[in-house]
Structure 1
Amino acid sequence: MAIAIALIVLALGSVLFHFLSPWYFTPIASNWASIDTTIGITFWVTGFVFVAVNLFMAWAVVRYRHRRENRAEYQPENKKLEGWLLVVTAVGVAAMLAPGLLVWAQVIDVPQDAQVVEVVAQQWNWSYRLPGKDGKLGTTHARFVTDGNPFGLNPADAAARDDVLVASPELHLPLGKPVKLLLRSKDVLHDFGVAEMRVKMDLVPGQVTYAWFTPTRTGTFDVLCEELCGVGHFAMRGRIVVDEPAAYATWLEGQSTSTQLAQRGHGDAAAGKVLFATCVACHGANGEGNQLLNAPRLGGQSAWYLERQLHLFKAGARGKDDKDTYGKMMAPMAATLPDDAAIANVAAYIASLPETPPATTINGDIDRGRRLYATCAACHGADARGTAATNAPRLQGMSDWYMARQLRNFRDGVRGSDPADHHGAQMRLVAGMLRDDAVIGDTLAYLNSR
């Protein structure tokens, strides 16, 4: 009897948990309500079978429990029972499969007027490519992929010259317009998933898969890689921002085409030298840094990374946390640079400074640090000299005491918490793997040995 009661409680408790649980699908933000309906039908069919089987088992346990006067009856087959089981099972399976097949027919039937967006995945980054004014995406190939051409655009294809390149994990889309996602991976198997859109599709190396949806409400929605793609899988996150059409047009106008990026100057180093005079007092005439003034080495760092950090300081996305004492000191200094041209100029000058490796201040287990750095190498490169394609700055030969402080800041949420700091947010997640200062010290000791 106790077993029968347990089976009944299990069945009824499961039903109550399903209806009363606070954990359910996030509110939908696309046209795929039919997917939710299909899943709902599956819940009803499997739920009915689950309850029926458990209640039958409870009845059978009570009805056929051991009694001295009872004798077992052997029935090698029961055609009537088997017939009923065959019919009921077939109806149940059909009830689950038929709606799914109907929805799948819609999933693979992309509207003719759908906007095309290419999604490119790489451990552990998302980037996007949109057609330019010609309305066509240029061709790509893996053999064209370089640090300066991370999308692998075909230089001989005229259609690629006006492609809009978004080297950021944040993609904007217009409200109410269907969008077709062309999904491409540069390394391993990834999966593009947006829960609110009910979109989930694998990105397979060597293939281009696709999915489509129509945004039905504005907002910001997380993009997750839902396929285990390596140790940094959990940090492979992005965002889709659904805008009103006018706001989307403004965002799109602010993005750069492949031609514009190729023609973009790297700043005027001569003009930047004048601006750098303000920085010399702390960072040194050659950007060698000064630990006593908490000013890290700048010489040898990539101009694109310096530009991004100066923009973040100036916009208030970095150096605003009360615990980031030295970041707060840097923020007003960045504000003295009047415009983007000034930032580009001073970054160009710093990048031209001679490399003067700073004195090492951190010792640790180099062999252990080598193993730990394997996680970092996917973005920062095996030589730790940085990779523009993954938005990862140079680490080798930079101030180790400064890097230790920044890793702690990332780990503790002092840095990388502002929504505008997309890459800092990713680094904050990865830094969470650094469970103590000894791990940080060993990693930096290995970098010092390079």
Structure 2
Amino acid sequence: MAVALILVLVAVGSVAFHLWSPWWSTPIASNWGYIDDTINLTFWITGFVFVVILLFMAYCVLRFRTRPGNRAHYEPENKRLEWWLTGITAIGVAAMLAPGLVVWNQFITVPRDATEIEVVGQQWRWSYRLPGQDGRLGRSDVRHVSAENPLGVDPTDPQGQDDIILDGEDLRLPIDRPVRVLLRGIDVLHNFYVPEFRAKMDMIPGSITYFWFTPTRTGTFEALCAELCGVGHAAMRGRVVVQTQAEYQAWLVGQRTFAELGAAARRAQASAPPPERDRYEEASR
């Protein structure tokens, strides 16, 4: 009786905890409500099966408990029951997988009018690159990464000269405009994740991954690294600011391009005092 009661309480308690739980999904801020729907469908299917199995176990514990004069019945197989269980299981698995395949197809099919941006992850900060007036991102290569060129933009590619570089700053995006996010890791495995966008993907050094989404709500949202990337993993945070089109364009005008940043770095290097060793050699001469 105690075991059966415990099983029933676990089933009832699990349902009650879900209905009155203080932990719910964050308000969605993109077009990926499909992901929430898929997760909810999976939850209800698995939750229903979980409750049914627990209640069935409680029934069996109570119904077939040891009693004087009762003898166990040995039945090594039951073809009819096995076919029923196999069929029901197959239907349940298909019901969980089919919506996910549909959503995945939408997830990787980028609209033609989507704007490409790049997110670069490195221990332990986020950097971003936006297209300039030509609307296209220039080439990049890890071999070009340096203190003056932290994102490794190819300095010989004319399409990259007008790219907007945001090194360690907030990423800003216009509302209701689809965005294809190119993801690149410079050192180790990272994962760019904004919970309200419901879109995330691993950033693998040596390759470029992507996802796309459409911001549907203005505001400031926290960007997290969702892949353990070292001792500073918990501190690898940033912000994504979704603005109206007018606010975004006003902000974009004030940003510096890759060419402007390179020129400023060269001027700063030329005006810097020579190193201590060089000054000593000049004094010696």
Aligned to 1:81: 81
Shift of 1:83: 1.1
Equivalent residue letter for 2:93: V
8 Å CA contact retained: 1:125, 1:169: no
Shift of 1:264: 2.3
Aligned residue for 2:177, secondary structure, equals: coil
8 Å CA contact retained: 1:124, 1:235: yes
Q: C-alpha separation between the residues in 2 aligned to 1:104 and 1:266?
A: 46
Aligned to 2:178: 178
Shift of 1:168: 2.4
8 Å CA contact retained: 1:220, 1:239: yes
Aligned ranges for residues 352-371 of structure 1 at < 5 Å? Answer: 352=273
Equivalent residue letter for 2:253: E
8 Å CA contact retained: 1:218, 1:241: yes
Q: C-alpha separation between the residues in 1 aligned to 2:267 and 2:112?
A: 43
Aligned to 1:224: 224
Aligned to 1:57: 57
Equivalent residue letter for 1:68: P
Aligned to 1:163: 163
Structure 1's consecutive aligned runs of 4 or more residues displaced over 6 angstroms after TM superposition are: 265-268
Q: What do residues 67-94 of structure 1 show as CA deviations (whole Å, max 9, x unaligned)?
A: 1211111111101111110111011101
Aligned ranges for residues 187-206 of structure 1 at < 5 Å? Answer: 187-206=187-206
Q: What do residues 271-290 of structure 1 show as CA deviations (whole Å, max 9, x unaligned)?
A: xxxxxxxxxxxxxxxxxxxx
Shift of 1:200: 1.4
Q: What do residues 45-100 of structure 1 show as CA deviations (whole Å, max 9, x unaligned)?
A: 00000000000000000011011211111111101111110111011101110111
- Where do 5+ consecutive residues of structure 1 fail to align? 269-302, 304-347, 356-450
Equivalent residue letter for 1:257: T
Q: What do residues 231-267 of structure 1 show as CA deviations (whole Å, max 9, x unaligned)?
A: 0000000110000000000111111111111122788
Aligned to 1:251: 251
Identity of aligned residues (%): 58
Q: C-alpha separation between the residues in 1 aligned to 2:192 and 2:265?
A: 34
Shift of 1:169: 3.7
Aligned to 1:144: 144
Alpha carbons of structure 1 residues 45 and 180: separation in structure 2 relative to 1, 3 Å? same
Q: Provide the alpha-carbon RMSD of the alignment.
A: 1.8
Q: C-alpha separation between the residues in 2 aligned to 1:267 and 1:183?
A: 31
Shift of 1:156: 1.6
> Would you say how many aligned residue pairs link Structure 1 and Structure 2?
276
Aligned ranges for residues 4-403 of structure 1 at < 5 Å? Answer: 4-264=4-264, 352=273
Asked whether 1:3 is paired with 2:3, we answer yes
Q: C-alpha separation between the residues in 1 aligned to 2:159 and 2:14?
A: 56
Q: C-alpha separation between the residues in 1 aligned to 2:193 and 2:208?
A: 16
Deviates more, 1:167-176 or 1:230-239: 167-176
Q: C-alpha separation between the residues in 2 aligned to 1:242 and 1:136?
A: 21
Q: C-alpha separation between the residues in 1 aligned to 2:161 and 2:119?
A: 18
Aligned residue for 2:127, secondary structure, equals: strand
Shift of 1:135: 1.5
Equivalent residue letter for 2:238: G
Q: What do residues 415-443 of structure 1 show as CA deviations (whole Å, max 9, x unaligned)?
A: xxxxxxxxxxxxxxxxxxxxxxxxxxxxx
Aligned residue for 1:200, secondary structure, equals: strand
Alpha carbons of structure 1 residues 72 and 154: separation in structure 2 relative to 1, 3 Å? same
Aligned residue for 1:256, secondary structure, equals: coil
Equivalent residue letter for 1:116: E
Aligned to 2:283: none
TM-score when normalising by structure 2: 0.93
Equivalent residue letter for 1:9: L
8 Å CA contact retained: 1:169, 1:237: no
TM-score when normalising by structure 1: 0.59
Shift of 1:157: 1.0
Aligned residue for 2:126, secondary structure, equals: strand
Which protein has the bigger strand share?
Answer: 2
Q: C-alpha separation between the residues in 1 aligned to 2:51 and 2:214?
A: 37
Deviates more, 1:74-83 or 1:222-231: 74-83
Q: C-alpha separation between the residues in 1 aligned to 2:155 and 2:257?
A: 13
Equivalent residue letter for 2:73: E
Aligned ranges for residues 409-448 of structure 1 at < 5 Å? Answer: none
